[in-house]
Amino acid sequence: MHPGNIGSAARAMKTMGITDLRLVQPEKFPAKEAEWMATNAADVLANAKVHGSLAEAIEDCVTAYGHTARWREWAPATLELRAAAKAARVLDGNVAFVFGNEQAGLTNDEMFACQHLVHIPASAEFSSLNLAQAVQVVAYELHLCVDPALPFTRVEKQATVADIEGLYAHLEEAAMRSGFMTTESRLRERLRRLFSRVPRMEREEVNILRGLLKALLK
């Protein structure tokens, strides 16, 4: 494994809250190239463990997922990455995601040391990701299983049934007073169908719409 990719992989892991980096017979480590590429992830590099074999590296893990970009005959079952990440997150114990080197990927022996194979869907014309890129994709999927919220996401109070019913009544009043809706019209049902497509409405959003209707009715 090229030291630059080790550094980039360490950075990719840290951005997603993963810090347990295990290396199997790296080409050169420690190395300045790794430090240069591990921007703000020097601690992940410093705590990385170097092993003489894959079996040694994963011996304390309850399962290992090996990454492959191509189909292998007689290989362990291959899972789509998102499904593998969800399965891994509910296991009790350490779980390994195993990456091969940049040139050839996992050997057959390394592949059979893993209990599952994982595939990252990519272009059929060029499906080989850079090692650090593959680590980033995997780390991202694992992170989503734990904390999908964005750090800048605002949590607003959700509209209640009463809030939404008040909006419907206000819409109907405006439609009737404007002459847009008659007593025989199916607009009432259409409006409910329209808003049912919104997965969740915030109370502030309902208040904005009702404020607009109030202003128009004046």
User: What CATH number should be reported for the domain holding residue 170?
Assistant: 1.10.8.590
pLDDT-derived band of residue 109, with 50, 70 and 90 as boundaries?
confident
Q: Which tens digit of pLDDT belongs to each residue from 7-55?
A: 999 999 999 999 999 999 998 999 999 999 999 999 999 999 999 999 9
Same domain, 125 and 180: no
**pLDDT over 90 for what percent of the chain?**
52
Residue 181 lies in domain? 161-217
State how many domains the chain has: 2
Same domain, 133 and 177: no
How would you classify the pairing of strands 22-24 and 61-67?
A: unpaired
Same domain, 166 and 75: no
| 154 domain residue, yes or no | no
Report pLDDT for 75. Answer: 62
**DSSP H helical segments within the chain, as ranges?**
3-15, 32-37, 42-46, 54-57, 81-89, 108-112, 131-144, 161-178, 187-196, 203-217
Q: Is pLDDT larger for residue 156 or for residue 90?
A: 90
Q: Distance (Å, rounded) from C-alpha 41 to C-alpha 61?
A: 24
> What six digits make up the tokens of 87?
């399965």
Report pLDDT for 150. Answer: 55
Report pLDDT for 161. Answer: 86
Whole-model pTM: value is 0.69
Report pLDDT for 121. Answer: 83
Q: Which tens digit of pLDDT belongs to each residue from 113-135?
A: 888 889 888 887 887 788 999 99
Whether 69 has a pLDDT exceeding 80, the answer reads: no
**pLDDT over 70 for what percent of the chain?**
92
Report pLDDT for 103. Answer: 75
Cα–Cα distances in angstroms (integers) from residue 193 to residues 23, 74, 168, 202, 211, in the given order: 56, 51, 11, 18, 22
Report pLDDT for 124. Answer: 79
Whether 136 has a pLDDT exceeding 90, the answer reads: yes
Report pLDDT for 197. Answer: 86
Same domain, 126 and 18: yes
Give the closest residue to 41 by CA, choosing from 13, 4, 2, 22. 13
Same domain, 25 and 131: yes
> What six digits make up the tokens of 29?
């480590």
If phi over 0 gives left and psi between -120 and 50 gives alpha, with beta otherwise, what is residue 145? alpha
